[in-house]
Amino acid sequence: MSFSGENMSITTSGGVRPKADAPPAVAEPPTTVVVALIPAHDEAAVINAAISSLGRQHRRPDRIVVVADNCTDNTPALASAAGAEVIVTVDNKYKKAGALNQALEALMPGLTDADSVLIMDADTTIAAEFVDTALLTLAADDRAGGVSSVFIGRNSDTMIGQLQRMEYHRYQREIRRRNNQAFVISGTASLFRVGALREVRSARDGKRLPIGDGYYDVYSLTEDNELTFALRTLDHSCPAPGVTSVTDVMERPLDLYRQRHRWFLGALRNLRHYGLRLPLHLRWVYWAQQIGLVLSVLSAALMITMLTLTLVLQLGWSLTPIWLVPTAILLIERVVTVWTMGWRQRLIAASLLPEMAYSIFLIVTFSVACKDFLLGRRGSWYAT
């Protein structure tokens, strides 16, 4: 290990040793090839920002490849002008997963198992330290199959956009409580070990993993959730060391409904698809999430029923302790968990009603997804 002169002292015997109070040396990212892939369908408005954020990385990717999928705008030309390579998909019917499979099939022969692939959405920008932090994380954990960014919402002037930003902020706190392990490796931006991706592809034999012939499952509504299941079933970890990616939020209720319906239904279908293949402790974690959502549905229904009965039977609102105490606890929790976001988010949280309405919206969406799951409906993949 080398040390700079200011961190060295000379011993009387002529030897050289570090000063006792010298700061620890900063680890350097491993020298492996990093290829960045950006799947893009008609992303002319945002593709330059995504490519620029890769150019600002402390450890820049060796190649930046935009996967132009059925584009009807000038996304490929803009990407090429910004310095990226462009792969154009051929007869792809499987959206993002199909586009990534085509690109990975073309690129993998030139990569070793120790190399890495960064996959990020076209509407996303990543913090400048993401690549080197992710590489260091992979080097420190041999089990890590991929390193997830922690996504935050882009600034929004709408209430629905702000509520999503607050939700994502709280999700960061949840990841920290889980020792920086992601529930789902983020599709906004994640860096994968090439060897782990190859293992996933070869394991899609119907025994170790559900049958398939690509790196991504093209039949899943939530390909990132499914890839997380695949990696974890093969005993890989999915760390999320806290480096952020900034992504768009849904600005219209219909878009938010479509996004969350796809997420909820896709997660349920993936759990059914994996069945007993998923290790027991992971089945508990992921099914517990779904059970928690079901309990949220029941709790919301109970709360609305009690509120209605109170208003009907008492012909008015009474601030009795049965309402006051839990409301005060909820208010404090809501405000504290978004405190670092700023005054606007604190005020929204303190008013309670916007977040209650947002929660009910998500609960209703989850209820529809559960109904579609039980009826065997496949659902639709919407680009969000």
CATH number of the domain where residue 220 is located? 3.90.550.10
Tell me the pairing of strands 63-68 and 34-40. parallel
Tell me, yes or no, whether 298 and 204 share the same domain: no
Q: Give the residue with greater pLDDT, 3 vs 132.
A: 132
Q: Output the pTM of the full model.
A: 0.85
Do residues 180 and 63 share a domain? yes
Q: Is residue 4 part of a domain?
A: no
Domain end marker among 232, 251, 270: 251
Query: For tokens 């049958």, what's the residue?
Result: 211
- Do 243 and 313 belong to one domain? no
User: Is the Cβ–Cβ distance between 200 and 209 less than 8 Å?
Assistant: yes
pLDDT at 19 over 50: no
pLDDT for res 284: 82
Q: Give domain status of residue 55, yes or no.
A: yes
Domain count, the chain: 2
Band (14; pLDDT cuts 50, 70, 90): very low
Taking 50 as the threshold, does the pLDDT of residue 215 lie above it?
yes
Q: What is the pLDDT of residue 9?
A: 32
| Better-predicted residue by pLDDT, 297 or 156 | 156
Query: CA angle, corner 234, sides to 230 and 240, nearest 5?
Result: 70
- Residue 256 within a domain: no
- Extract long-range pairs of 207-216: CB within 8 Å, 24+ residues apart: 208/233, 208/234, 208/277, 209/233, 209/234, 209/274, 209/277, 210/273, 210/274, 210/277, 214/97, 214/98, 214/101, 214/104, 214/105, 215/100, 215/101, 215/104, 216/96, 216/97, 216/98, 216/100, 216/101
Is the same domain home to 165 and 123?
Answer: yes
330-to-37, 160, 257, 311, 336 alpha-carbon distances in Å = 42, 20, 25, 21, 10
- Residue 96 to residues 203, 288, 369: CA-CA distances in angstroms? 21, 28, 21
- What is the gyration radius of the CA atoms in the chain, in angstroms? 24
Query: Which of the given ranges, 83-87, 347-351, 375-379, has the highest pLDDT on average?
Result: 83-87
List pLDDT tens digits, range 22-61. 444 446 666 689 999 999 999 999 999 999 999 999 999 9
**pLDDT (0 to 100) of residue 294:** 76
Of 206, 229, 251, the last residue of a domain is: 251
Same domain, 157 and 99: yes
**What does the pLDDT look like over 84-120, one tens digit per residue?**
999 999 999 999 999 999 999 999 999 999 999 999 9
Structural domain including 370 reads 283-375
- Residue 265 placed within a domain: no
- Beta-sheet pairing, 125-126 with 146-148: unpaired
Q: Are residues 151 and 38 in the same domain?
A: yes
pLDDT of amino acid 206: 92
In a domain, residue 383? The reply is: no
| The predicted structure's pLDDT at residue 36 | 99
pLDDT digits (tens, 9 = 90+) for 188-203: 999 999 999 999 999 9
pLDDT the model gives residue 307:
66
Residues 212 and 307 in one domain: no
Do 232 and 361 fall within a single domain?
no
Residues 243 and 288 in one domain: no
**pLDDT at 125 exceeding the cut of 70:** yes
Residue 199 shares a structural domain with residue 310: no
What pLDDT does 15 receive? Answer: 37
Q: Are residues 127 and 184 in the same domain?
A: yes
Within this chain, do residues 105 and 183 fall inside the same structural domain, yes or no? yes
Query: Which of 230, 251, 272 marks a domain boundary?
Result: 251
Let me know if residue 143 belongs to a domain: yes
